[in-house]
Chain A
Amino acid sequence: MEQRLATSLIMTVNEKKFIESALLSDIRVDGRRPFDYRTLTITFGSEDGSSEVQLGQTQVIGFVTSQLVQPYIDRPNEGSFAIYTEFSPMADPSFETGRPTEFAIELGRIVDRGLRESRAIDTESLCVIAGKLVWSIRIDLHIIDNGGNLVDAANIAALAALSTFRRPECTFGGEDGQQLIIHPPDVMEPLPLIIHHFPIAVTFGFIGKENIVVIDPTHYEESVIGGSMTATLNTNGDICAIQKAGGDGVPQSVIMQCLRIASVKAADITTKIKNAVESYNTQRSLRKIKRHDPSPVVICGDHDDDVAKHHMERLNLGSDESNDMEIGRKLNENDKMDKRHSIAKGSGGGPASWDPYSRGVDADALRASLGSRVATPPAIYKEESRQVKPNETKSSKQSSLHEVTKIELETSQPKSLKDAVKPKHKRRNKSTSNAFAH
Chain B
Amino acid sequence: MEVKHSSSSPSSFIDQLVVPGDVILDLSSMSNQTIKLGGGLRQDGDSISVMKAGQLRFTKPNKYWVESSHKRYVPSAGDNVLGVVVDTKPENFLVDIKGPALAFLPVLAFEGGTRRNIPKFEVGTLLYVRVVNANTGMNPELSCMDANGKAGEYGVLKEGYMFESSTGLSRTLLSSPPCPVLEALGKKLSFEIAVGINGRFWVNASQPSTVILVGNAIQKSESLSVVQQKIYLEKLLKSIQ
Contacts and interface: CB of A to CB of B under 8 A. Distances in A.
A58 to B, nearest CB: 16
A325 interface: no
Contacts of A22: 161, 208-209, 211-212
A14 B209 contact: no
A22 B208 CA distance: 5
Interface string B196-208: 0000001000011
A12 B102 contact: no
B208 A27 contact: yes
Interface hub of A10, A12, A15, A30 (most chain B Cβ within 10 A): A12
Contacts of A17: 159
A93 to B, nearest CB: 11
B166 to A, nearest CB: 14
A13 B125 contact: yes
A2 interface: yes
Contacts of B158: 14
B208 A21 contact: yes
B125 A12 contact: yes
B162 interface: yes
Contacts, number: 65
Nearest to B126: A12
Interface string A341-377: 0000000000000000000000000000000000000
Interface in B224-241: none
B180 interface: no
B162 A14 contact: yes
Interface string A223-262: 0000000000000000000000000000000000000000
A103 B125 CA distance: 28
A27 B122 contact: no
Contacts of A38: none
Contacts of B211: 18, 22
A29 B161 contact: yes
A16 B124 contact: yes
Interface in B203-223: 207-209, 211-213, 215-216
Nearest to A1: B87
A6 B96 CA distance: 7
Given A12-B126, A18-B160, A5 B87 contact: yes
Interface residues of A, number: 20
B202 A27 contact: no
A17 B101 CA distance: 27
A395 B125 CA distance: 85
Interface secondary structure of A, over-half rule: helix
Nearest to A23: B208
A13 B212 contact: no
A21 B212 CA distance: 12
B56 interface: no
Interface residues of B, number: 26
A235 to B, nearest CB: 33
B134 interface: no
Contacts of B86: 5-6, 10
A25 B209 contact: yes
B94 interface: yes
A6 B86 CA distance: 8
Interface string A1-45: 010011000111111111001100101111100000000000000
Nearest to A27: B209
A36 B107 CA distance: 44
B157 interface: yes
A25 B87 contact: no
A310 B124 CA distance: 81
Given A18-B160, A25-B208, A27-B212, A13 B122 contact: yes
Contacts of A18: 159-161, 208, 211
Contacts of A31: 212-213, 216
B66 interface: no
Given A17-B159, A21-B208, A25-B209, A10 B122 contact: no
Nearest to B158: A14
Interface hub of A6, A13, A15, A27 (most chain B Cβ within 10 A): A13
A14 B213 contact: no
A33 to B, nearest CB: 11
Contacts of A15: 161-162
A65 B209 CA distance: 47
Nearest 3 CB-CB pairings of A with B: A22-B208, A13-B124, A18-B161
Interface of A: 2, 5-6, 10-18, 21-22, 25, 27-31
7 contacts: A11-B124, A12-B125, A14-B158, A14-B202, A18-B208, A29-B161, A30-B216
Interface of B: 84, 86-87, 94, 96, 101-102, 122, 124-126, 157-162, 202, 207-209, 211-213, 215-216
Given A12-B84, A14-B161, A22-B211, 17 more contacts: A2-B94, A5-B87, A6-B86, A6-B102, A10-B96, A12-B124, A12-B126, A14-B159, A14-B160, A18-B160, A18-B161, A18-B211, A22-B161, A22-B212, A27-B209, A29-B212, A30-B216
